[in-house]
Amino acid sequence: MQIQHPTAAMIGRAATAQDDIVGDGTTTNVLFIGELMRQAERYLGESVHPRILVDGMELAKTESLKFLETFKHDAEVNRDLLIEVARSSLLTKIAPELANPLCEVVVDAVNCIHKEGKPIDLHMIELMHMQHKMSNESKLIKGLVLDHGGRNSDLPSRMENCYIMCLNVSLEYEKTEVHSGFFWSNADQREKLIASERQFTDDRVQQIVDFKEKLCKGTNKNFVIINQKGIDPPSLEILSRAGIMGIRRCKKRNGERIPLACGGKQLSSIDVMTEADMGFAKVVYEQSLGEDKYTFIEGVENPFSCTILIKGPNDYSIAQTRDAIRDGLRAVTNTISDKCVLPGAGSFEIACSEHLNEYARKQVSGKVKLGVHCFAEALLVIPRTLAQNSGFDAQDVLLKVQEAHLKDKKPFGVDVYTGEPLPATVSAVWDNYIVKRQFLNIAPVLAQQLLLVDEVMRAGKNMRGSRGDGQE
């Protein structure tokens, strides 16, 4: 839906930018901008100039970013920590009984494609869905799942210990681009014509069959061809007689990911074929769901690409699970990149709010304090919303958590199950450092622009007016 209101559209674009850059924190952005404007409205009603508030907010933003550096935890990034991060992300989107098994799937998928010292490319994790069974049966396939199968019923549907040949070569009869006609006087001549036209394609297919015989003779190995281009029925017939599984017209992205998952490389010519060019998988099998076919390639060694197979009873469940997994993948990736975590459950916002109030009392003078107080109060909308969404009295919970924080001088968050203060360091609820840093950079800038929009428009009118006076 297209957002019509200009202010709402700006906030929507800010949330989209947040999602594009770090993959999370969109709701936090929207809530914080709205609360920042609401807090500013109180002072604007008392005739405080927006510029003063903006200056105070800028000071508060700078101080919050400094406080963030001291609040983060430099932790050893291991599997247990990543599972806790993934669980913290997934539990905000889906039910606990579904989130708990999926957090291990998410972490294992990222670890599968992660190479030390290189950036993580999440495009190497394919999210494949099947409208089949229940959502908690979603799993990680260390290999590939192709959303198509073979086109010949005589082809084998399951093979073990398979060489994988990834091709980008046409194995079908192609008409020439030259417009020409052929005339024959009897049936024999016609048959000879058809045979000569087929000969080129048949020779290509036979070349692959001979290579398979040479490679697999005397072993228990099998042979699978996955081709980006077409394989026509006569060629499929030849392959099936030779015991070769042939899959045609696979998607380009799958053609690129097969060598990463199985090894080997994609061939654009079959003139020179070696064993080193072949990938390998322990099992390749086909599964049919109604009219849809899926090909599973599993049991690969050292894969640099994998597939998360999402199952669900309907499209809505699948979409919800897919969105949650995508956010979980980004959260785990951010943690590996940052090499640190941030206590969650609203503990950072509460601690930062108290810090800003102290900062305003000791180091800021004049009306600029009001802008700092606006920023400090607006941060509390995050824990307040957490308490409210959990079904508790927001003000009561917030006061309890603030009192616990001031008493023990330790970060406390909101326990969404009991409504009581929760020590952030023992709760195993973690946020991403980069997400908090990004929202502290984006949200105040937009709020400042909205507060100064009247001033900008007024300045524009004055400039037009003075220009008109000069002309007269």
pLDDT digits (tens, 9 = 90+) for 40-95: 777 777 777 778 777 887 888 888 888 888 877 777 778 788 888 888 888 777 77
Please report how many Cα atoms fall inside a 13 Å half-sphere around the Cα of residue 447, on the Cβ side: 30
Angle at 42 between CA 38 and CA 44, to 5 degrees: 105
d(CA 404, CA 412): 7
| 471 vs 178, higher pLDDT | 178
Per-residue pLDDT, 276: 79
- Helical spans, DSSP H, in 242-392: 252-262, 315-338, 347-363, 368-379, 381-389
CATH code for the part of the protein at 6-74+342-463: 1.10.560.10
pLDDT digits (tens, 9 = 90+) for 366-413: 777 787 888 888 888 888 887 777 787 777 777 887 777 777 777 777
Weakest-pLDDT range from 18-27, 352-361, 391-400: 18-27
Rounded to the nearest angstrom, the gap between the alpha carbon of residue 41 and the centroid of all alpha carbons in its chain is 37
What is the residue extent of each domain of the chain?
Answer: 6-74+342-463, 144-302
Count of positions (residues) in the chain: 472
Rounded to the nearest angstrom, the gap between the alpha carbon of residue 322 and the centroid of all alpha carbons in its chain is 9
Residue 24 has pLDDT above 50, yes or no: yes
Nearest to 67 by CA among 411, 420, 455: 411
Burial class (CB in 10 A: 0-12, 13-18, 19+), 452: middle
Residue labelled with tokens 């400090």:
376
CATH architecture of 144-302: 3-Layer(bba) Sandwich (3.50)
pLDDT-derived band at 1 (thresholds 50, 70, 90) equals very low
